[in-house]
A and B are shown apart, each in its own frame.
Chain A
């Protein structure tokens, strides 16, 4: 069964574009990545699913029910973690979590303590006194305490140190194993690759592609920048798998996907002054997608 079903969802803010004709499904039990640069429409889509905003046209169903009409009922089983968390500053962490829990039918007090322990969160502190990272932890506990069937994460990892990120990913994977479906929005490809089964790529309000994560992993993109000692013809690197080939002041840059040894061999045959190998930004991969479609 599809947990989320989005059909031709369109949202304009006045004349400004939010999202255009977005359609995709998220199946039960999967971790679905939702990836795109900032301002592409990830948050707009998610906020529509949560009926924080209303679509201009199209519709979305969660658990088979229209997400606007049955919003309150559906949200009983949704856990949401926004990218920026803000809570009532005057409250203590435990009071906020209890307030949050009071909206759900379940008794969540045990789960609150479990989660707080995993995330290493001090429940007795005032929210006002917490650091950004710690507020984020409150957000995580708050989003998961009622053991939701659908977890919606909107760029959840910003502000978490790597150790906490790992704990957080483990937590999400565990919830997923217990049966929760996850919609994970991010602009960091590596994050999504690590966690997700499938991924939808959004750019400028439109879905470009819905792809299996395996396909993305096979096409292991690397960004190369080579500074040669002598003038070098950029055609030298023009082999299969190379994209976005550019030369600037003796520096040749390109994005490569394929057997990395091929490039290493090429490099070993020439004298180079400097070499950078980086994860390409999403933008750069998107450019690659556009080229393929042309």
Chain B
């Protein structure tokens, strides 16, 4: 419990900043919807003049941008990128911080098992992610319900928004296992930015060339908005992959970290 509270304190500030930024981003972008929808046909026509590959890469081809959720679903990609970076930062940073900031000699000679250290840190990170998602969801519902003259399904809105949580879990686990496997991570941000943008570009490429296999590598379209809007469901195979990946990454982290040599600096 003491470690959990300590970690929460350490990550309090960054969680607040990330959450506020993500909320500000979506609220601002959503407020452009009214003016956007007025000229929607024009805009959509213009977009359809883009080369087809580019439309696909940007995720424009399949979403109806004149509907509230279609527009939201398009913007949601940017929220996912931000959320992925936040989660990746947490994952890469929370355990490796002890080595990077040379505090491992303090924490690991305390009468606690390494498993307990991992559990505390995982729970603290999970708390941060949950807080971010709850506040985000509340903010989005309030913002979207302000568009009184448009119809939308609350269930679909929540389903789309909730996928932020799953994406964050995936990127957190990925960051966590990386931090355990790599001997020493000197700086967190380049690692997480690199991987998140790498994954995003990979996904955009995959969409552009229409390669379905790439969808399995990059998590960004595990929870495809178009699919959710059409089927009112998540895609089962990707749901399973997500769950299996998170479990394997976390279990492997426990095993590997318990055997890891913590070298002097």
Q: Which residues of B contact A102 (CB under 8 A)?
A: 2
User: How far apart are B58's CB and chain A's nearest CB, in angstroms?
Assistant: 41
> Which of B103-111, B133-141, B192-200, B210-218 interfaces with chain A?
B103-111
Which A residues, 75 to 130, have Cβ-Cβ distances below 8 Å to chain B?
Answer: 75-76, 78, 80, 82, 84-90, 99-100, 102-104
- The number of chain A residues with a CB under 8 A from chain B is 29
Stretch at the interface among A45-53, A209-217, A253-261, A267-275: A45-53
Chosen A-B contacts, 14 in total, with CB atoms closer than 8 Å, are A47-B264, A50-B109, A52-B261, A54-B261, A75-B109, A80-B109, A86-B106, A88-B10, A90-B10, A99-B2, A100-B110, A103-B111, A104-B111, A142-B106
Give the distance in Å from the alpha carbon of A80 to the alpha carbon of B108 in the complex.
11
A52-B103 contact, Cβ under 8 Å, with A99-B2, A99-B6: no
A52, closest chain B residue (CB): B262
The chain A residue sitting closest to B2, CB to CB, is A102
User: B262 touching A75 by the CB < 8 A rule?
Assistant: no
Smallest CB gap from B263: residue in A: A53
Q: Which residues of A contact B109 (CB under 8 A)?
A: 50, 52, 75, 78, 80
Distance of A102 Cα from B112 Cα, bound (Å) = 11
Contact, CB under 8 Å: A82 / B105:
yes
- The minimal Cβ–Cβ distance linking B183 to chain A, given in whole angstroms, is 11
CA distance A90 to B105 in the complex (A): 17
B265 at the interface (CB under 8 A from A): yes
Q: Residues of A contacting B105 with CB < 8 Å?
A: 52, 80, 82, 85-86
Residues of A within 8 A of B101 (CB): 86, 88-89
Whether a CB of chain B sits under 8 angstroms from the CB of A43 is yes
Across-interface contacts of B10 in A (CB, < 8 A)? 88, 90
Question: How far apart sit A56 and B133, CA to CA, in the bound complex (Å)?
Answer: 45
Question: Per-position contact with A for B253-264: 1 when CB-CB < 8 Å, else 0?
Answer: 000000101111
Question: What's the Cα separation between A85 and B203 when bound, in Å?
Answer: 45
Enumerate chain A residues within 8 angstroms of B145, measured Cβ to Cβ.
none
Does B113 reach chain A (CB closer than 8 Å)? yes
How long is the Cα–Cα vector from A88 to B263 in the complex, in angstroms?
Answer: 18
Residue on A nearest B261 in the bound complex, by CB: A53
A104 to B105 Cα, complex, angstroms: 16
Q: Is A73 an interface residue (CB 8 A)?
A: yes
A72-B111, A72-B112, A103-B112 are contacts. A87–B106 as well, Cβ < 8 Å? yes
Interface centre among B104, B105, B259 (most CB of A within 10 A): B105
Per the bound structure, the CA–CA distance linking A100 and B112 in Å amounts to 12
B184 at the interface (CB under 8 A from A): no
Q: Is the CB of A43 within 8 A of B261?
A: no
A52 and B110 contacting across the interface, CB-CB below 8 Å? no
Central interface residue in B2, B10, B109, B262, by most chain A CB within 10 Å: B109
Going nearest first, the 4 A-B pairs with the smallest beta carbon separation are A86-B102, A102-B2, A76-B111, A103-B110
B14 to chain A, nearest CB (A): 12
